[in-house]
Amino acid sequence: MKKYLSLIKFAHTVFALPFALLGFFLGVHSEAGEWSLHKFVLVILCMVFARSAAMAFNRLVDREIDSRNSRTAGREIPAGIVSPASARIFVLVNSMLFVLTAYFINPICFYLSPAALLIVLGYSWTKRFTFLCHFVLGLGLSLAPVGAYLAVTGEFALLPILYGFIVLLWVSGFDIIYALQDIDFDKSLSLHSVPAFFGKKTGLVISTLLHVICAAILIVASQLVSSAYPQLNWLHWTGSILFVILLAYQHLIVKPNDLSRVNLAFFTTNGIASVAFAMLVIADFYF
């Protein structure tokens, strides 16, 4: 269990899962939704299965690349801790469980589950042919609030879609920062990323622009939340402001000539931003 949790970087669930919970509770408190412990558990399971399949598949298809990069050579498959055959079975089982779980939620989630799976698995190939790979990763995670809202209500709505765009821009931006670490390695193997294509300085500018747009949409979404859910007070605005501050902070600590704090920006800052934002918005419904 420890080996597989390490393989899929289970701790990184803090990026998408809070937004899935946000989408779920937006649905619960909408006119079309109601609380259901059964669906809540199924949504959590869908998130775990989809992300587990995606991360394991990424490690599987990148195993040769990872073995040649000093930063990633110690990962489970290149290091021989998990065999490729075991990883394939793990991906297949989690993919099947994801689709099966979606079946028990409602028809629309079931019908869309193969498309969602195609996106989250397909990301792993994209850096081989396009620097837009960061946006495909963002798109995969952006499905979390939309899918969770669909699970509750069975219908699309503007707010979860806006939060989906927020996740897309946020994840794409911080993944560009993360890719700064491998710019020389990516160039040596003709792998694609925004930093490898545009350079460090321009890559950081693009990341900053994405996060500025993300912050703007977040403010618009927060205003719409206030209008759609008049029972909410100040907690959801506190979460939005904190999220924007943490977006700005990661750009202050990462410089083109100093990448020593990339991991702090990538995991710690963004993990806190995601969890704190979602929890404050959800708490506002009940306190």
The pLDDT of residue 150 is: 97
The pLDDT of residue 258 is: 86
What is the average per-residue pLDDT within 233-243?
Answer: 95
C-alpha distances in angstroms, 240 versus 5, 46, 96, 236?
31, 26, 36, 6
Q: 145-154: per-residue pLDDT in tens? A: 999 999 999 9
**CATH number for domain 2-284, candidates 3.20.20.70, 3.40.50.1380, 1.10.357.140, 1.20.120.530:** 1.10.357.140
Q: How confident is the model at residue 4 (pLDDT cuts 50, 70, 90)?
A: low
pLDDT at 217 over 90: yes
Instruction: Kindly report each contact of residues 272-277 with a partner whose C-beta sits within 8 Å and lies 24 or more positions away, as own/partner.
Output: 272/246, 273/242, 273/243, 273/246, 273/247, 274/14, 274/15, 274/16, 274/18, 274/19, 275/14, 275/18, 276/239, 276/242, 276/243, 276/246, 277/18, 277/22, 277/239, 277/240, 277/242, 277/243
Q: 66-106: per-residue pLDDT in tens? A: 999 998 899 989 999 999 999 999 999 999 999 999 999 99
Q: How confident is the model at residue 5 (pLDDT cuts 50, 70, 90)?
A: low
Two structure tokens written together for 68: 């040649």
Beta-carbon contacts of 70 under 8 Å, excluding residues fewer than 6 positions away, are none
What is the average per-residue pLDDT within 222-247?
Answer: 94
Q: How confident is the model at residue 203 (pLDDT cuts 50, 70, 90)?
A: very high
What is the average per-residue pLDDT within 252-270?
Answer: 86
Which string of b and e fits 140-179 if b means at least 16 CB within 10 Å? bbbbbbbbbbbbbbeeebebbbbbbbbbbbbbbbbbbbbb
Instruction: Kindly report each contact of residues 72-80 with a partner whose C-beta sits within 8 Å and lies 24 or more positions away, as own/partner.
Output: 75/7, 76/3, 76/6, 76/7, 77/7
Q: How confident is the model at residue 8 (pLDDT cuts 50, 70, 90)?
A: low
Q: How confident is the model at residue 7 (pLDDT cuts 50, 70, 90)?
A: low
The pLDDT of residue 13 is: 75
pLDDT at 268 over 90: no
Q: Is 217 strand, coil or helix?
A: helix
The pLDDT of residue 34 is: 92
What is the average per-residue pLDDT within 161-180?
Answer: 97
Q: Using CB atoms within 10 Å of the CB of residue 259, give its burial: 0 to 12 exposed, 13 to 18 middle, 19+ buried.
A: middle
What is the average per-residue pLDDT within 185-200?
Answer: 96
The pLDDT of residue 262 is: 87
pLDDT at 278 over 90: yes
The pLDDT of residue 11 is: 63
Q: 22-56: per-residue pLDDT in tens? A: 999 999 999 988 999 999 999 999 999 999 999 99
Calculate the average pLDDT of the chain. Answer: 93
